[in-house]
Amino acid sequence: MSLVTGLLVFAGLALIFGLILGFAAVRFKVESDPIVDQIDAILPQTQCGQCGYPGCRPYAEAIANGDEINKCPPGGEATIKKLADLMGVEAKPLDSAHGEESVKKVAVIREDECIGCTKCIQACPVDAILGAAKQMHTVIAHECTGCDLCVEPCPVDCIDMVPVTPKTETWQWDLQQIPVKVVES
Amino acid sequence: MKTSLTHQLWTFPGGIHPPERKDLSNQVAIATLPLSSVYRVPIKQHSGAAGPIIVSPGDKVLRGQPLTAAELPGQLPVHAPTSGTIAKIGPGRVAHPSGLPDTLIEINADGADQRQTLEPIGDYQAFSAADLITRITAAGIAGLGGAGFPTAQKLNQQRPLEALIINGVECEPYITADDRLMREHALDICRGTMILLHIVNCERAILAIEDNKPEAVASFTAVLNEFPAIELRVIPTKYPSGGEKQLIQILTGRQVPSRGLPIDLGFLMQNVGTAYAVARAVEHGEVLDQRVVTVTGENVDKPGNYWVRLGTPVADLLAHTGFRAEPQQRVIMGGPMMGFTLPDLTVPIVKISNCVLVPSTQELEPAQTEMPCIRCGACADVCPAQLLPQQLQWLAKAKDYDGLEQQNLFDCIECGACAYVCPSEIPLVHYYRKAKAEVRTIAREKAQAEVARQRFEARKERLEREKQERLERHRQAAEARKKAQAEAQQQGAPNPQDAVQAAIARAKARKAALAAAKAKQEDDSSA
């Protein structure tokens, strides 16, 4: 008799908890995977595809599913370190198969050579190139992420990747860089 | 709230008493520097964006003619310092510790020094605050105390004020530009203060002067009975009492909140030089095309204060004052505490250049080798912002930016008191400036990444939408075709399907006929 009571009690409890859990799963449903958002926030949003995925968010999803964290050359060591902290894994050196870390660059179209083919416009992942068919194109410099993707499609090779030079406002107080520090007598 | 501004004075934590050396340059009246042959006017001389250039090479300009426009808030015009011809517009070295080039407008002086002024405003009280602020912007006035924040922008706030504070403290050693200006132009400073009070709609101004400038105090006491709204406060000498937040603490005993502004407590601060420039701009229509610069140090023969046109190369200024360069001579723009070493002497004097210091090696030792921190805590004792300098230094070296923010790195006013007392000769302020620049870069990159992410997602959405629209168009076109056919059929037109069937039938018949003919031929040949 006591066996039946015990079974009934536990079956009842299981039912109640099951209902609560079922309700919570529907009521507090998480729309997207928060870890993907967190990883995406760390990635540099260059959208360059050097990692082998078509953009930063797809790579963030891949990392969440267990891909390596060292495939992002624009982010470099700093990004790898942050990703390692977030994912609780060991930081690794950058995988050179995906490229080397380099200074930030920006695309510049040599405008007199542009033939207006729109191929770079289609390649730009952040819509930072302005122009129309048979019209000159130009890069909106402050929107350019320096991803390099417009260089290859250009049939006349008129796009240069120019390193961003520091200005007085963006200077990093690197006093070693000043060419002359003292006045010669 | 009103009780906080009594005659009582408070003090701020920390601070230092370095040798003042002010008597080197404050003995003689302000002299006027003779005209240079070439002026180099940087288009950005204030904190904020530069305005668009409105002159081109070859143009003749008059003294006081604007070279750039101020179209957006935060922009300030720069003006021609003398009459002449625009020689070129292009990058050149400016007064910045980086030595990086910025856009300069080079003017060849014609020697005539013809001047154009704005319409003088006789009775400023008949004008609205907005009109006067427009005038102050047109005159290109930026805070002359050091930071160069556009004065108009500072005045253009709508919150009620308890008092306007006029800062005549000038606490940094060696510098006496404000001291001499106060001694010689007390009346104009008071008139400027009255104009500022009218603009911000406030009835009280506090003029603060350190007690090491008794002559300046005397010249104000002589004129102040004409200006009952202005109260004079003589404060004890201590560095850095002239810091905005420190001075408010001295005068009111209250602290400006971390990352806050004096306006949060109901105060607005302007430098005496700014008040003078406002008076000249409003009452005489003169734009800001010159300022008082202290030239001092043991390696100049004629130390003193000079009216220097903005854009004058430092070399011209030093040549006039009898500069004797020693080997490895440093030329410092600003004072010994907060100034920076100039990359070369072609850099021009700008709105925020209050001093050119040419010290001898005995006078101001060159930077020594940095030694390890011994945790003596002297830096924390003198920090006027009550930060922990050694903690900040370690965090800066470790690039721990979150930690730096937790330790309130951005409350550091870069006064240099910590580096001054450091027995290990650690260039602490340099580490903080570097860390601040890096934190700002990270924030900027993060903002850019966020924009890039939004643009990437917007583009993805757009491509997807365009694809859907294309498919939809194709579907609609196919439907329209079908519908048109059906309608045509109803109106008696032959069904295109029938035509196809007919064509197939015709082809079949032709094939059959051919086959029959061929069979007949074969029969004939075999027969």
pLDDT digits (tens, 9 = 90+) for B423-433: 999 999 989 99
Let me know whether B327 and B210 are in one domain. Answer: yes
> Are B342 and B381 contained in the same domain?
no
Quote the pLDDT of residue B349. 95
**pLDDT of A176:** 56
Query: Per-residue confidence at A185, pLDDT binned at 50, 70, 90?
Result: very low
With contacts defined as CB-CB under 8 Å, which chain A residues touch B449? 43-45
Which of A14-28, A168-182, B385-399, B408-422 is least confident?
A: A168-182
A-B CB pairs within 8 A amount to: 97
Average pLDDT of span A98-118: 90
Which residues of B are documented as binding site for [4Fe-4S] cluster? 373, 376, 379, 383, 412, 415, 418, 422
- Confidence at residue B1, expressed as pLDDT on a 0 to 100 scale: 38
CB proximity list for B295: less than 8 A, separation 6 or greater = B25, B302, B303, B304, B305, B306, B317, B318, B321, B355, B356, B358
What is the per-residue pLDDT for B2? 41
Q: Name the pLDDT band for B122 (thresholds 50, 70, 90).
A: confident
As a whole number, mean pLDDT of residues B136-157 equals 90
Whether the pLDDT of residue B407 is over 70: the answer is yes
CB contact under 8 A, A180 and B458: no
Do B341 and B399 fall into the same domain? no
Establish if B408 belongs to a structural domain.
Answer: yes
The amino acid at B348: P
Residue at which a domain ends, from B321, B356, B391: B356
| pLDDT over 80 (residue B332) | yes
Identify the CATH number of the domain in which residue B167 sits: 3.40.50.11540
Is B349 inside a domain boundary?
Answer: yes
The beta-carbon neighbor of B329 closest among A43, A168, A183 is: A183
Q: Are β-strands B355-357 and B340-341 bridged in parallel, bridged antiparallel, or unpaired?
A: unpaired
* B490 inside domain: no
- Per-residue model confidence (pLDDT) at position B37: 95
Give the per-residue pLDDT at B99: 82
Residue B345, chain A, CB below 8 Å: the answer is yes
State chain B's mean pLDDT as an integer: 91
Select from B296, B327, B356 the last residue of a domain.
B356
* Single residue among B298, B327, B356 that ends a domain in this structure: B356
Range of the domain at B414: 374-479
pLDDT surpassing 50 at residue A1: yes
> Any residues with CB less than 8 A from the CB of B132 and at least 6 apart, and which?
B121, B124, B195, B198, B199, B282
Q: What is the pLDDT of residues B221-259, one digit of tens each?
A: 999 999 999 999 999 999 999 999 999 999 999 999 988
Within this chain, do residues B25 and B155 fall inside the same structural domain, yes or no?
yes
Residues B349 and B383 in one domain: no
What is the pTM for the complete model shown? 0.82
- pLDDT over threshold 50, residue A119: yes
Q: What ipTM score was computed for the predicted complex, to two decimals? A: 0.79
Q: Do B452 and A170 touch (CB under 8 A)?
A: no
Q: What is the pLDDT of residue B239?
A: 93
B292 and B389 housed in the same domain: no
Distance CA B147, CA B358 (A): 22
The answer on B385 and B280 residing in a single domain is no
What is the three-class DSSP state of B53? strand
More confident residue, B502 or B57: B57
Q: Write out residues 193-212 of B within 8 Å (CB-CB) of A.
A: none
Q: B267-271 and B163-168 as β-strands: parallel, antiparallel, unpaired? A: parallel
Query: Residue A120 annotated as binding?
Result: yes
B342 shares its domain with B431: no
Domain count, chain B: 2
What sign results for the dihedral spanned by CA atoms A72, A78, A79, A83? positive
Same-domain status, B168 and B297 = yes
User: B266 in a domain, yes or no?
Assistant: yes
Task: Look at A183 and B344 and tell me if their CB atoms are within 8 Å.
Answer: yes
Summary mean pLDDT of chain A: 87
Model confidence at A173, pLDDT cuts 50, 70, 90, reads confident
Task: Note whether residue B195 is domain-resident.
Answer: yes
Q: Which residue from B341, B449, B460 is facing A181, i.e. has the nearest CB?
A: B341
Q: How far apart are CA B248 and CA A164, in angstroms?
A: 41
Q: Would you say residue B66 lies in a domain?
A: no
In this prediction, residue B253 carries a pLDDT of 92
User: Residue B246 is which amino acid?
Assistant: Q
Question: What distances in angstroms separate CA A133 from CA A114, A121, A154, one per listed residue?
Answer: 11, 10, 14
Rounded Cα gap, residues B17 and B2, in angstroms: 32
Helices (H), chain A: 2-27, 34-42, 56-64, 76-87, 119-123
A143 touches chain B (CB under 8 A): yes
A179 contacts: CB under 8 Å, gap ≥ 6:
B99, B343
* Distance of residue A109 Cα from the nearest chain B Cα, in angstroms: 20
Which residues of A fall within a CB distance of 8 Å from B326? 185
Interface check A100 vs B, CB under 8 A: no
In a domain, B32, yes or no: yes
CB contact (8 A) between residue B449 and residue A180: no
**Based on the domain organization, do B226 and B328 belong to the same domain?**
yes
Chain B residue nearest residue A44, CA to CA: B449
Q: What confidence score (pLDDT) does residue B7 get?
A: 78
Question: Under an 8 A CB cutoff, do A173 and B434 touch?
Answer: yes
Regarding whether B422 and B318 lie in a shared domain, the answer is: no
Res. B526 pLDDT band, cuts 50 70 90: low
B427-483 pLDDT, tens digit per residue, is 999 899 999 999 998 899 899 999 999 999 999 999 999 999 999 999 999 999 999
Which residues of chain A make contact with B430, given a CB cutoff of 8 A? 173, 175
d(CA B107, CA B122): 32
B444 and B332 part of one domain? no
Asked if residue B174 is part of any domain, the answer here is yes
Q: Which residues of A, range 6-35, sit inside 8 Å of B by Cβ?
A: none
Determine, for residues B459 and A167 on separate chains, whether the beta-carbon distance falls below 8 Å: no
pLDDT in tens, B480-504: 999 988 888 788 776 767 778 888 9
Q: Are B429 and B383 in contact (CB under 8 A)?
A: no
B319–A contact, CB cutoff 8 A: no
Question: For position A33, what pLDDT does the model report?
Answer: 67
Q: Is A158 annotated as a binding residue?
A: no
Residue that is written with structure tokens 């430092």 in the block: B314
Between B257 and B525, whose confidence is greater?
Answer: B257
Chain segment B365-399, per-residue pLDDT in tens: 877 788 999 999 999 999 999 999 999 999 999 98
Is the pLDDT score of A174 beyond 80?
no
